[in-house]
Amino acid sequence: MINEETLRKLTEMKMSAMAEAYKEQMGTPDFQDMPFEDRLNLLVDQEYSRRKSNKLQRLIKQAKFSDPSAAVEDIEYHADRHLDKPLLLELASGNYIQHHLNIIIMGASGSGKTWLSNALGIQACRQHYKVKYIRLPELLDEFLVAKNEADGSFRKLITKYKKVDLLIIDEWLLTALPEEYVYTLFEIIEARLKTTSTIFCSQTAPEGWYEKLEDALVADAILDRIVHDSYKVLLDGEISMRERHGLGAFK
């Protein structure tokens, strides 16, 4: 017989999965013959699994991925892509986040940079890291708006991004940046240095970034803070992933 007061308390404590499992146990005769400890373990496992699943979905939603279905298990290792599988498996372990290292994903348009960055980001969410995906133009616009406010919004935004364990910046230096954006970019990189990790999705190698940054001294400072602590992943391929998948995901 279900104890309604116990059920009420479980619901009030927001233990909905345990409440559902409790009702199932009390309504199924087969459970009555199980030892108390086994039944308790099943109740706890149900609640634990639900909470882990909810946390993962919350982290994925907060990250605002462009492709929330991307997964490292679905990476396509076609021979012509020349992907370094051991490296990608190492990155999937999340050790680079623990050591505050970065990843530079390089490749032509349609090579699957965004999809791969999302897959690694979702893998980080599975490991309970806080992740944020954003295009560089949107990131800089967000900071420019904050900079024009007189209430300290810029510094608050810097603090907010310092708390992101893994920041994924897509369309990295796709075009040359005006000087005001270059200094803002430096502040973002500097604030996250040695305490967090960043994935940069770029169509060019770091050697080509200098010409996109107007100030040579700041360009040197930005690259110095990124390149030496980064894994590099080159996405190659005789056939682009856009061609392989039409308008689908570029794995």
Q: What is the rounded CA–CA span in Å between residue 213 and residue 223?
A: 10
pLDDT digit string (tens) for 121-173? 999 999 999 999 999 999 999 999 999 888 999 999 999 999 999 999 999 99
Q: Look at residue 241 in the predicted model and tell me its pLDDT.
A: 62
Using alpha carbons, list the distances in angstroms from residue 241 to 114, 124, 196.
11, 23, 30
Tell which wins on pLDDT, 118 or 79.
118
pLDDT one-digit tens code per residue, 191-226: 999 999 999 999 999 999 999 998 889 999 999 999
Take residue 245 and report the two structure tokens written for it.
Answer: 């998948």
| Residue 131 bridge partners (DSSP) | 166
**CA–CA separation, 166 and 151 (whole Å):** 27
pLDDT tens readout for residues 27-82: 888 787 888 888 888 878 887 787 888 899 999 999 999 999 999 999 999 988 88
CA dist 167 and 198 (Å) reads 5
Look up tokens 């699994």; give the residue: 49
φ and ψ of 108, to 5 deg: -70, 165
How far apart, in whole angstroms, are the C-alpha atoms of residue 117 and residue 75? Answer: 11
Residue 103: phi, psi to the nearest 5? -130, 130
| Residue 202 phi, psi (nearest 5) | -135, 145
- The answer to whether residues 114 and 242 touch, using CB atoms and an 8 Å cutoff, is no
**Number of C-alpha atoms within 13 angstroms, CB side, residue 93?**
11
- In terms of Cα–Cα distance, which of 33, 59, 31 is closest to 46? 31
Determine if residue 44 is left, alpha or beta; phi over 0 gives left, psi from -120 to 50 gives alpha, anything else beta. alpha
Reported as a pLDDT band with limits 50, 70 and 90, residue 14 is: confident
